[in-house]
Structure 1
Amino acid sequence: MNPRRDLTTSQPSLAGQNEQLDLQEEEVPRLEWDFSLLASIPSSSSSLLASDSIGSIAFSPCNDNSTYDSLLATAGIARKIRVYHLGSLIKCVVQSQPSVSICTPAKLSSVRFRSRNVIAAGDYDGVVTEYDITRGCGTAMYERDEHGGRRIWSIDYSSYTSLAASGSDDCTAHLWDPRANSDTLHETIPFTSPVCCVEFDPSGNPFFATGCADKKAYVYDVRMVRQGPVKVLERHTRAVTYVRFAGHGRLVSSGADGQHMLWDWSNGQCVREYTGHMSSRSFVGMGVWMHNGLVASGSESNEVFVYDLRWGRPVWVQGFAEHVDSTSEVHERRRNGGFVSAVSWWQGTGDRAGDDNGVLVAGGTDGVVKVFGCKRKEQIE
């Protein structure tokens, strides 16, 4: 069962950036990375009637003194937040028991760390709850119920300010300060359709993006939200399910039209389209590894896709099942509803982000979570 079904200023542009894409480069993808399976977490559901579908994956902020010191959290419609130590998980290869397991009152659609010890979840009842994971099985310490009982699709925290954000089926995005009273609202941004995704620019710039069921992505300056979006991005033909900042004035959007799109958002220009994965009815997950310009995606074909921002076709595709023997098997799994439903990159520490060592985590509607490592090929001895 799909936890997230279909919903029918001054920022430099790409020009002049040392890291800019070569927009004229020929569309011939090159795989410059070696990927390997580091760990696998089996589903906790033993019943065919119960679903452990993964709807969201998040990493805690990194500790600069340890490469894999981050925590990894998963959440979904099983009404549980599961937290793992990334380093221990990789060493164990297969691990089914989380370090912390938090039972929640409603199905979950989004999970994010506010800090290493505080994690927040947005649920199907329109509530955002923060938990202190250092206290036993997690103690609820903050709660917001401001979306009129309508499902929250996405939550995020800003690295530029103290603000948090949520996007909901009630056709609004809310901005608030979690340090203030739970009923204190900073801003409400109204839309004409459900808000599927919210994200603050993780680079520390004062920008905030939303993806909506009206087929558009919007970018705001958090310092002047009431003046409206600084840019509206229109090209998708169905709901925009994810928006992710990619650094240097770039943003990647994902739609239920089966496309990811790279934008030079300050100019409103679509630079490139990424196709190959399947996404026609569902939220399949999308994430950007900002340091190395890689985009990860789930797929209704039950595969994980990785795109390099420079090329429109995938550079790496991995079946999520143990063996994929035929195209017909892929289509059978698609009819049965099983697919990769969430992905997330470990961003590393500092500007170098772990010396080009990457970690990609993907979760499926079957409850299985897989951890992949990636490394530049020239670094392989």
Structure 2
Amino acid sequence: MQCMCVILNKTRSYMACCGNSDRIRGEDVTKLRKDIKGQPIYPWRCEWDFSLTTIVSSGGDNNISTPAISDALGVIEFDQTNSIIATGGIARKIRIYKLQSLLPHENTGQDQVRGTICLDHARACDYYICTPAKLSSIRWKPGSYGGVLGSGDYDGVVMEYDLERRIPIFERDEHGGRRVWSVDYSHWDPVLGASGSDDGTMQMWDTRCESGECVATVQPSVGGSAVCCVEFNPFGGPIVAVGCADRNVYGYDIRMTIAPVFALDGHRKTVTYIKFLDNVTLVSASIDGCLKLWNSDNSNVIRSYRGHVNNRNFVGLSVWRKGGLLGCGSENNKVFVYDKRWGEPIWIHESNPTGRDGCGGGLVSSVCWRQVEEDQCTLVTGGSDGGLQVFQGKRKASIAS
């Protein structure tokens, strides 16, 4: 699908796919002069050129129009080298892809070939590992050099897999069979892992012990609301952030977990994702249809981001730290990219035509940025149809200079 830039304002940016334009919300936007189609006219250009590079479909015939609910993707993760991609979902498979297989032009030394590469999982996937349950979370283990991958599943079990031998090497079931929504590993104390569950707890455990000895158990919400996301500070600090169904985000010092060191209150519904943008700045997502940027030092909201549709499902959240971009999915089968400086999306891509109500045709359920470069980026997304899409972005030369 070809896209057209219709953008930018110093404080408001927008990219719309041809024939599928979305209106930007916000009072200041409605006051802007509009073109003959009724769309806002912006005096500034978009800073980025994005293109759909590769589609990996669930069917062998590359038919991406028929949703395969049994293969819906819930999570995508790049390894520490940013060259390997792991995916998981309700198909009970961890699939491993080499990025060079999805972006063959990167190895040719030539400019990107025009058009989109279409593959199926059988051809694109390097290998896969079958899992005993549907997966809600996966995370590469720091210090394992891409050799160990942790997972959390619908049966409340945390597991680790040795990817070289393609076998499970660790298992813990301490959440009483309640779904594990999120797992992560500490970068400050590399022997620590954590999991958040429907049982209302975040548990930290010692990865050196075969049984996964519990180091600490935290119940952030007084009412025992589900813990939907857990993320350790990836810059090496001792803080772990926890997002809950009680609409709040809590931060704990892993050395003393009796009480949170900060609480972020501002969402109107369940917090589904939390990501560190830097040591003190975090981004959260909620099924209230809003992303929020927070300063954890004073617990204040810096900015809110609206445009995507999210009132029921987990649709993914990823931050590209070097470029200051946020990516998320949507329940109208679109991918949204926000610049951290502005509250409206700078780019939107519709994966497949939706129904007239804008809610048909599936959803984009997972997203992940590649953490490299400053003027070029790669965003990988997964959907309820089980398909992967790879997008590449390049900062426009006149802007970069």
TM-score higher than 0.5 here? yes
TM range (shorter): 0.7 to 0.9
| Residues paired across the two proteins, number | 336
Equivalent position of 2:210 in the other structure: 181
Amino acid at match of 2:155: D
How far 1:291 moved relative to its partner? 1.3
> In the alignment, does 2:237 pair up with 1:237?
no
- Report deviation, 1:330: 2.9
Partner residue in 2 for 1:356: 375
Q: CA deviation at 1:31?
A: 2.8
**Distance between the aligned counterparts of 1:49 and 1:368, measured in 2?**
9
| Alignment-mate amino acid for residue 237 of structure 1 | R
TM-score normalised by length of structure 1:
0.84
**Residue 308 of structure 2 aligns with which residue?**
277
Where does the alignment leave 5 or more consecutive residues of structure 1 unmatched?
Answer: 1-24, 63-67, 349-353
Per-residue CA deviations over 1:110-151 (Å, capped at 9, x if unaligned) read: 11111301111110011111111112xx10111111111100
CA change 1:253–1:49 in 2 (3 A) is: closer
Moved over 3 A (4+): 44-50, 92-95
C-alpha separation in 2, matches of 1:347 and 1:309: 16
Q: Is the 1:45–1:52 contact (alpha carbons within 8 Å) kept by the matching residues of 2?
A: no
Q: Which residue of 1 aligns with 2:136?
A: 109
Distance of aligned partners of 1:139 and 1:219 in 2 relative to their CA distance in 1, 3 Å threshold: same
Counterpart residue type for residue 32 of structure 1: E
Find the residue that maps to 2:102 and give its secondary structure. Answer: helix
Structure 1 equivalent of residue 16 of structure 2: none
Equivalent residue runs for 1:283-322 within 5 Å: 283-321=314-352
- Structure 2 unaligned blocks of 5 or more: 1-8, 14-44, 106-116
RMSD: 2.1
Change (3 A) 1:108 1:44: farther
Q: Residues 315-363 of structure 1: CA distance to partner in whole angstroms, max 9, x if unpaired?
A: 0000112xx3x76163333xxxx10000111112xxxxx2432111100
| Cα contact 1:147–1:168 (8 A) shared by 2 | yes
Give the deviation of 1:27 after TM superposition: 2.9
Letter of the aligned partner of 1:357 in structure 2?
Q
Q: Percent identity?
A: 47
Q: Would the aligned equivalents of 2:58 and 2:68 in 1 still touch at CA under 8 Å?
A: no
Which whole-Å CA distance do the structure 1 matches of 2:150 and 2:367 have between them?
18
What does residue 278 of structure 2 align with? 247
TM-score by length of 2: 0.79
User: Corresponding residue for 1:71?
Assistant: 84
**Where does residue 7 of structure 1 map in the other structure?**
none
Instruction: Decide whether aligned partners of structure 1 residues 248 and 186 sit closer, same or farther in structure 2, where only a CA change above 3 A counts.
Output: closer
1:146 is aligned with what amino acid? E
Residue 67 of structure 2 contacts residue 384 of structure 2 at CA under 8 Å; is this kept in 1? no
Distance in 1 (CA, whole Å) between partners of 2:243 and 2:370 is 22
**Larger RCO (alpha carbons 8 Å, 6+ apart):** 1
User: 1:32·1:377 contact (CA, 8 Å) conserved in 2?
Assistant: yes
Deviation at 1:373, TM superposition (A): 1.1
Indicate conservation of the 8 Å contact 2:339/2:346, yes or no: yes
Question: In 2 relative to 1, CA 48–59 (structure 1 residues): closer, same or farther, beyond 3 Å?
Answer: closer
Between 170-179 and 27-36, the greater mean CA deviation after superposition: 27-36
Q: Computing the radius of gyration over CA atoms, which structure comes out larger, 1 or 2?
A: 2
Q: How do residues 36-55 of structure 1 correspond to structure 2 at under 5 angstroms? A: 36-44=51-59, 51-55=70-74
Alignment-derived partner of residue 219 in structure 1: 251
In the alignment, does 2:228 pair up with 1:166? Answer: no
Q: For residue 145 of structure 1, what is the aligned residue in structure 2?
A: 173
